[in-house]
Amino acid sequence: MTQQKITIHEVAEAAGVSVTTVSLVLSGKGRISTATSARVNQAIEQLGYIRNRSAAVLRGAESGVIGLIVRDLSQPFYAAMTAGLSEVLEQQGKMLVLTQSGHHGQQLERCFASLVAQGVDGVILGGAPEQAEKWVAQAQEQGIALVCAARASSLDQVDSLHPDNSQAARLATEYLIRKGHQRIAWIGGSTASLTRAERIGGYCATLLQYGLPFRPEWIIECGDRQPEVAAVTAQLLRQHPGITAILAHNATVTLGCYFGALHSGRTLAEGAVGSYYSQQLALVGFNDDPQRELYDPALTFVSSGAREVGRRAGQRMLQRLAQPSGEVQTLIVPPLLLPGRA
> Which pLDDT value is given to residue 296?
59
288 Cβ contact list (under 8 Å, min separation 6): 76, 77, 80, 251, 301, 303, 304, 306, 307
Q: Per residue of the chain (342 residues), what is the pLDDT tens digit? A: 334 456 777 888 888 888 777 777 776 656 678 888 888 888 888 877 655 544 444 444 577 899 999 988 888 888 889 999 999 999 998 999 999 888 776 788 888 888 887 888 999 998 765 666 677 777 877 778 999 988 776 667 889 888 999 999 999 999 999 999 999 999 999 998 888 999 999 999 999 999 998 899 999 999 989 999 999 999 999 999 999 999 999 888 998 999 999 999 998 876 566 555 567 899 999 876 555 555 556 688 899 888 999 999 999 999 999 998 889 999 999 999 988 754
Domains of the chain: 1-61 (1.10.260.40), 165-303 (3.40.50.2300)
Helix (H), strand (E) counts: the chain: 12, 13
Of 17, 18, 131, which Cα lies nearest the Cα of 69?
A: 131
- The pLDDT value recorded for residue 76 is 80
Q: In the prediction, which pLDDT does 6 show?
A: 67
Spatial separation of the C-alpha atoms in residues 285 and 177, rounded to whole Å = 15
Task: Give dist(CA 311, CA 82) in Å, integer.
Answer: 9
What is this structure's pTM? 0.76
Given the DSSP bridges, would you call strands 336-338 and 300-303 parallel, antiparallel or unpaired? antiparallel
Q: What is the arrangement of strands in the sheet containing 65-70, beginning at the earlier edge strand?
A: 95-100, 65-70, 122-126, 145-149, 159-163, 330-333
